[in-house]
Structures are given as structure tokens and as C-alpha cells.
Structure 1
Amino acid sequence: MKMNQGADMAVMTSLIQLINLAADQNSYDRMIQDSLESSTLDCKSVQFYLVTRANANYGGVEACPEQTFTLFNGTFDESKPTKILVHGWRNSRHTEFTTNITNSYLDAMDVNVIQVDWSAIAESDYITARTAVPNVGKTVALFIQQMTQELNVSLSDLQLVGHSLGAHVVGVAGYSFQNPKIGTVTGLDPAGPLFWTTKNDGMITKESGQFVVILHTCAGLLGTSKVLGNVDFYANGGVPIQPGCGFDIMGFCSHDRAIYLFGEAVVNPTAFYATECDSNTSYENGDCDSNNHTYFNSDVDQNAAGKYFFKTSSSYPFTIDETC
């Protein structure tokens, strides 16, 4: 969630709104109820782009679930794995999450990358964007349903990846499919503010897919501190301030660190060696050294379950030389 001077006032306004809303339980409850009474959105609000190695240089092919003709004009290759990416607040398909992860996937493997752009809503204040999460998630689910019908896509072969509010969008989308479920759903530092009491159908949880992976980098500030997945990873304890982020009082650097760690892990699947542990204190003390180990990456071993901790360096490459 990179900020510039022009965005500072919008951020501060949203923070004031959050404080006021948190202090008023009735207003918070109404907001949650409004968000769950959701419907799908049109293509002006949520856009979909297919990006592959063949078309990456000219920005991909747009599609809309309202169209009656073939999605992506016949350019989708059903034989390749498909990754669906959803950005967070005050972002778009042209900002760091989507561009970094798209480039990482296309560098590492020959896949279909579908970029979901909901910037028409995400660029608004935080409360408006957060309230729209179920609407956006159900719109993504509708698009996926159309993909299964038109493009012969198997739900179990899909991976959804979202950052911040986008993590909850993919959670809602995934929850829409229960039999069968989406294969893998990955939440990168899922947003914490205004997700305090939300039900399973309104945020990312382990019910969002067959296998749900969460990465925490700013827990308790911009990211949630809840354990949400089949496996939850904690980079450097999962909390701000992440190494190299300096005086990160607002948490933006730590929150965005999840993007860069995942992007690196896509290209280098053995970059982040993680240890199963109940707490970061026990992990740091070496109390869990004999526990299970796995790697945090785009294709986490599905035998992994619970909480896993790993360390990183303070700058790219973030990997620390360890072996599993």
C-alpha cells in the first residue's frame, strides 16, 4: 500500500473514520450487516485481465463476466495453471502487488495470470472499500463460475492470491465454492481494521478453499492478528516493524513486505525456511527446532498445518541461507 503526499489526507481521514467507528459498536455492527447484504458488481467496478508470457508486453486481454461471448477472446490456455490476483486498498492492477506477483509468476513458470482490478472502489476511503469486499468477492466468484463453464477450468486447479483487503476478497470468492472448493487460496497480510467480528463468509478463513495459506507481516496494525488459514506463516514474528522498514509507524512498509516476500518465494521456492511453533518467542528461543519444517512459497506443502515462523534479511533478496 504505497503512499504519496497526495494520498496522505485520504489515509488520515480514513484513520479518523476507523477510530470513530471502533468507538461506536452500533455503527460497526451496521457496517458489517451492510457489507454482508452484498450483490455482484458490473465491469466498470471490477475488471479482469488475462496476462501470459505471450501477451505480457501489451498489458493482457480484458474480459467481463457480463459478456456472452468467449472470455478472453480465445487466448486462455486451459492446459496451464491459473493464478488469480486481487490487490488491496488504494491500489490497482498497475501498482506493486499486481505487477510484482505477475512478473514473478511469469518469470518462474508458464501460467495464466488473471489480474482483478477493483480500483474504482479501492481508491475510495477505507470504510467504503472495506464494506465493498463481499460485493467484489462475489463478483470474482461469478467470474470464476463463468470460467468453469466456458473455459473448462477446474476449481481444484485454481490459486487465488490477495493482499490486504484483497486477501479478504479472495476469501469471500473462495467461500462461494464449497463442493468442490477452490484449490489454493493465499492471503498476504490480510487486512485487520474492521475485520474484528466478521463471519466466515465475509473474510478469508480456512473455509475459503481446499488449502488456505496466510502470511503475516504487519499483524495488529494494518494486518490481522487472527489465525485464519490451514497454515499461517509469520515473517520475523509477523508484526511491524519488519527488518529494513525503519520508522514504520503507520505500518505501510511492513504491510507491503508480504508482497515482496511472496514474489521472491514464487521465483525461489526454497527462499524461506519455516518452523512450526506456537509463538515467536518460543521460535526465537530455539524451543521448536525439533518441530516440523516447511518452506513458505506459492506451493506450500499441504501437510503443513498450524503456525510457522521464519526470518528474513532487511532487503532484497530477503532469503536467509537455511536448508529444510
Structure 2
Amino acid sequence: MKVALVLFVTSTVYLAAALPAPSASPRFVQVPAGDDEVVTVDLEAEPDYKFLNDVARNPRNAYILFTRRNPHNGQTLILNDANSIRNSNFNPAHTTIAIAHGYIQSQNSNLNQIIRDAYLNRMEANVIVLDWSRISQMDYMTAIYAIPSVGQGLGNLLNFISTVTGAPLTNMHVTGFSLGSHVAGNAGRTIRGLARVTGLDPYSPVWNLNSNRLAASDAVYVEAIHTSGNTGNRLFADVDYFVNGGDNQPGCWTSICSHNRSWEVFAATVTFNHLHGNQCTNVAEMRNNQCRGSQLPLGNSDVNKRGSGIFRVNTGANFPY
């Protein structure tokens, strides 16, 4: 009983310290939820500490592997179970891509299938879909507080796979959408040496002062692709791409459409590698669409991609954008 109490108090103090004071953000904000809705959340709501204590001890997330040998029927990988790795279709010679979904989503959400298929149609790859829906479908603040544990679990799995199979971390790429962007960042900072992290529209007021947010130090190369709500207010990565200025995407009439455009554009670039950003000298130049600097590909499947700075990418309204 004493051990459980210590775990609970320690987790509570650590997680509470990671969040901004209530005055740092508006109390009620709208956030994307699931594939196609927006919900209003209270940033001062009390998270479920009992649930978070359980998550800290046992996240119980699922890791599902897809390869060209099983492109639609996933195989479950289990942390600390070497046979689950050895008996799967995981190939250490191939690039590994992990995908972390967002709030109120699951392994069955659209982005997982679209990104998975884009990779497997383009190349031999190990695509691992993280299902953290047991946590992501809780209330928003509880999900926010749990993100470090979720990311650490994913990072530990990738490290375990590397130990069991010899697959190098330098050939692994984690991409996350919305809240999943910060899961991806925490995965990278857990293991160090991860080749690449891509955050798909990571911006939200709650992340302004949160030390658990996506950061440039989370992998050898970190990029953020902004498509809604961020017009340069916050920079997250080695490279911050602002698609059409980071808000109000062409062909979109709702914020959730613009938000989802981040993973739609990313998947398109995995297939075609056709979109390039121009580097901007500063945020004002980006907002005014005056960037004329060197070009860098948006997204794509290159696990060893490199770059730094602010980039603006202008696209069309329809696939492949």
C-alpha cells in the first residue's frame, strides 16, 4: 500500500509540474477529437489521478506491426516478450516507422491506414501502429498528463526491438498526430539516438509552457508540420513547416479539416515526395508569404533527412496537394 501511495504522489507531482498554470491559457478551448469532430475542454479540470497512477505502472497500450507480408492483418508486438518480435514479420534490414494517433482516436483511425499504406506501397518497411486509445479516450486533461508514460512505452518498445533484432535506432522514424506528436517526442527522448520524429500539427494552447511537448532534442532530426491554429506563435522542432501559413487550409471550411490536412499532406509526400518549403528569415516573412530561401522537402520517407529553420509550404486544395 505504501509503495502504491508513493507511486501516486510522485506521478502526480511530476505531471502537475509539467503543465502551465491555469492563467497561462484560456480555461475553455476547442480541441480536435477523433477523425472529424471538435470538442470544448476545460483546461482547469482535474485529471483522473487514480487512472494516471495505473497508467504509470502499466500503460497497457498495443503495438501492431504491418509489413508487405501482412499489409492489412497486424501482428501484436509485446514489450519484453522477445518471441513476439522474433515470430513476427519484423525485418531489421528495413526502415521502421511508428505512428501515434491523437485524441479520441485508435488504431482504426483513418490516419493510421493512410500513412501505413503510403509507406508499404512505396517501400519495404516495418510499420508499427501504436494504439493508446484506452488513454486517449479519457477526458482531455487526463490524456495530456498521461502522454509521458505513453511515449516512454513506445520508446522502450523500439529500444527492445533494437536489442532483440539488431535493428538500429538510426533507421527508425516516429510520427505522431495532434496529441500523438508529443507522444512521439517523448518516445524519442526516452531512448536517444532515434533518427527522426515528425509532429503532425502539434500546436495547442496547452503546450505553450509544457515541458513534455515535442522538442528539437527528441531525435537526431525533428520536424513539425503545422496546418491549423499556429501561424508562427510557437516553434517546436529543428524544422517547423507552416503549410499555407499554418492555418485555414485551402478547400477546408472547418478547423478539424485543416487539422487533419497535416497527416493527409504528410502521407501524400511519402508517396510522391513532391512538396517543398522555402526557408523564411523570420515569422513575419512566413506569414506574409515572402519566403524565398533555400528549399527543403516537406515530409517524405527519408529517415536520414536533415534541416533547420522555418519553412513555408504552399499547396493546393485537393490530393496530392
Deviation track 1:111-136 (CA, whole Å, cap 9, x = no partner) reads 11011100111112211111110010
Supply the distance in 1 between the matched residues of 2:70 and 2:262 (Cα, whole angstroms). Answer: 27
Is contact 1:163-1:259 (8 Å) kept? yes
Gaps in structure 2 of 5+ consecutive residues: 1-31
Partner residue of 1:175 out of 189, 194, 216: 189
Superposition TM-score, scaled by structure 1 size:
0.80
Q: Which residue of 2 aligns with 1:293?
A: 295
Is contact 1:237-1:280 (8 Å) kept? no
1:128-147 equivalent positions in 2, closer than 5 A: 128-147=142-161
Cα displacement (A) at 1:315: 1.8
Is contact 1:168-1:190 (8 Å) kept? yes
Partner residue of 2:56 out of 39, 42, 65: 39
Q: In the alignment, does 2:249 pair up with 1:242? A: yes
Partner residue of 1:206 out of 191, 216, 236: 216
Q: How many residues align?
A: 288
Supply the distance in 1 between the matched residues of 2:189 and 2:238 (Cα, whole angstroms). Answer: 14
Cα displacement (A) at 1:140: 0.7
Is contact 1:167-1:191 (8 Å) kept? no
Shift of the 49–285 alpha-carbon distance from structure 1 to 2, 3 Å rule, reads: closer
Deviation track 1:120-173 (CA, whole Å, cap 9, x = no partner) reads 111122111111100101111111121111111111111111111111001001
The alignment partner of 1:106 has SS state of helix
Deviation track 1:35-60 (CA, whole Å, cap 9, x = no partner) reads 89x83634xx3100110111113x21
Q: In the alignment, does 2:193 pair up with 1:190? A: no
Supply the distance in 1 between the matched residues of 2:203 and 2:313 (Cα, whole angstroms). Answer: 21
Is contact 1:280-1:309 (8 Å) kept? no
Supply the distance in 2 between the matched residues of 1:174 and 1:300 (Cα, whole angstroms). Answer: 14
Higher strand share: 2
Q: Which residue of 2 aligns with 1:321?
A: none
Partner residue of 1:49 out of 64, 77, 90: 64
Q: Which residue of 1 aligns with 2:312?
A: 309
Cα displacement (A) at 1:293: 1.1
Supply the distance in 1 between the matched residues of 2:103 and 2:160 (Cα, whole angstroms). Answer: 26
Supply the distance in 2 between the matched residues of 1:81 and 1:300 (Cα, whole angstroms). Answer: 8
Is contact 2:181-2:198 (8 Å) kept? yes
The alignment partner of 1:194 has SS state of helix
Is contact 2:195-2:303 (8 Å) kept? no
Q: In the alignment, does 2:262 pair up with 1:258? A: yes
Q: In the alignment, does 2:227 pair up with 1:217? A: yes
The alignment partner of 2:260 has SS state of helix
Q: In the alignment, does 2:240 pair up with 1:226? A: no
Q: Which moved more, 1:207-216 or 1:142-151?
A: 142-151
Supply the distance in 2 between the matched residues of 1:35 and 1:232 (Cα, whole angstroms). Answer: 31
Shift of the 111–278 alpha-carbon distance from structure 1 to 2, 3 Å rule, reads: same
Amino acid at match of 1:172: N
Deviation track 1:4-63 (CA, whole Å, cap 9, x = no partner) reads 89x77xx23xx2x12x45xxxxx79xx9xx989x83634xx3100110111113x21111
The alignment partner of 2:237 has SS state of coil
Superposition TM-score, scaled by structure 2 size:
0.81
Supply the distance in 2 between the matched residues of 1:285 and 1:191 (Cα, whole angstroms). Answer: 20
Supply the distance in 1 between the matched residues of 2:257 and 2:270 (Cα, whole angstroms). Answer: 20
Q: Which residue of 2 aligns with 1:113?
A: 127
Is contact 2:273-2:297 (8 Å) kept? yes
Is contact 2:223-2:238 (8 Å) kept? yes
Is contact 2:103-2:137 (8 Å) kept? yes
